[in-house]
Amino acid sequence: MQRISVKALLLGNLSNVLALCAMAFIFMVIDFGIIVVSQGVDGLRDVKLTGVSLYVVALLPAASAVVSGYVAALYAKESPLLNGALSTAVIIAVSLYSDVIGIFPPSDEPAIFPPVVGAILSYSDPLFGLLGAHLRPMAEPRTILRWIGAVAALIGGYVLALVLSVLLFLWWKSVAAVYFAVMFAPRFSIIAGTYAAPKHLREQALVVLTGIAVVAPTAATLGLASARHSSAWLVIVLFNALGCLWSYWSMKRAWALEARTAPAE
């Protein structure tokens, strides 16, 4: 007989809400920082989700559901998949309440997504909770936490670089300051993230984090470039990619040198 663990249910739903809030906060800081760099502080008066930003926000609940499913399966002694699916109960209840009763006042603006797509995004979280629960036997919590720390270090490095680029831009009034910060952001972010990953997986972490550092900023920047028809954003993509390749090459070279100079056992 399948059993529901109260502890797994509570911790799973709590982790779902906390993960969603944390991801939304990180996205907001990055997105607002990019807007300040591109449009100045006045650009924050009329913020609208478009392009890549829209799809990122739409995927945040699914990502948080994977986290909550993993946490619920971690504490469930029986039926981990069932508890993983139920770890999204609070978010589903909020979505249902919003659709039936309504939380926000009615608006004349068109819906962001078509009704069918909106329903799928709102009520598919249990499937991602199942996915998180299914991933539980494949990785130990300590390994997962180290990977989360690696990605957090990568993101933190970029957030600091973004804040630095804003300050340099406001100080020097030169776009070259932004290019300088973007060039060195991957250098520190990838190194910090790689050494935060599990020691025996650092080579894989270097590849994964370098890929994230290339793909994620490139997708966001190209979305901004297409929305504002500015070729200056393409230069930012180039400098970021060069910084990523520089970081990857220097770390591989340092590891190879360390292996050659290490005393034989």
- 84 and 22 in a single domain? The answer is yes
- 206 and 257 in a single domain? The answer is yes
- 166 and 178 in a single domain? The answer is yes
**Candidate ranges 67-76, 91-100, 130-139; pick with highest mean pLDDT:** 67-76
Where is the domain boundary, 123, 138, 153?
Answer: 138
- 28 and 88 in a single domain? The answer is yes
Domain boundaries, position 260: 140-265
What's the whole-number average pLDDT of the chain? Answer: 75
- 149 and 242 in a single domain? The answer is yes
- 113 and 190 in a single domain? The answer is no
Structural domain total, the chain: 2
The pLDDT of 169-194, averaged and rounded, is: 74
Condensed to tens digits (0 to 9), the pLDDT of residues 229-265 reads 456 667 777 888 888 888 889 888 888 888 777 665 5
- 156 and 191 in a single domain? The answer is yes
The pLDDT of 142-147, averaged and rounded, is: 77
Task: Quote the pLDDT of residue 185.
Answer: 74
Sequential DSSP letters for 20-82? HHHHHHHHHHHHHHHHHHHH-GGGGGG----HHHHHHHHHHHHHHHHHHHHHHHHH-SS-HHH
- 229 and 250 in a single domain? The answer is yes
- 104 and 170 in a single domain? The answer is no
Task: Quote the pLDDT of residue 83.
Answer: 86
Check residues 228 and 188 and name the one with the higher pLDDT. 188
Contact 23, 63 (CB under 8 A): yes
Where is the domain boundary, 138, 167, 191?
Answer: 138
- 145 and 129 in a single domain? The answer is no
- 8 and 51 in a single domain? The answer is yes
Query: Phi first, then psi: what are they for 248, rounded to 5°?
Result: -60, -50
Separation CA 88–CA 90 (nearest Å):
6
The pLDDT of 168-189, averaged and rounded, is: 71
Query: Phi first, then psi: what are they for 108, rounded to 5°?
Result: -80, -10
- 86 and 96 in a single domain? The answer is yes
Instruction: For residue 8, give every residue at least 6 positions away whose Cβ sits within 8 Å of its Cβ, in sequence order, or none.
Output: 71, 72, 73, 74, 75, 76, 80, 83, 87
Where is the domain boundary, 103, 138, 173?
Answer: 138
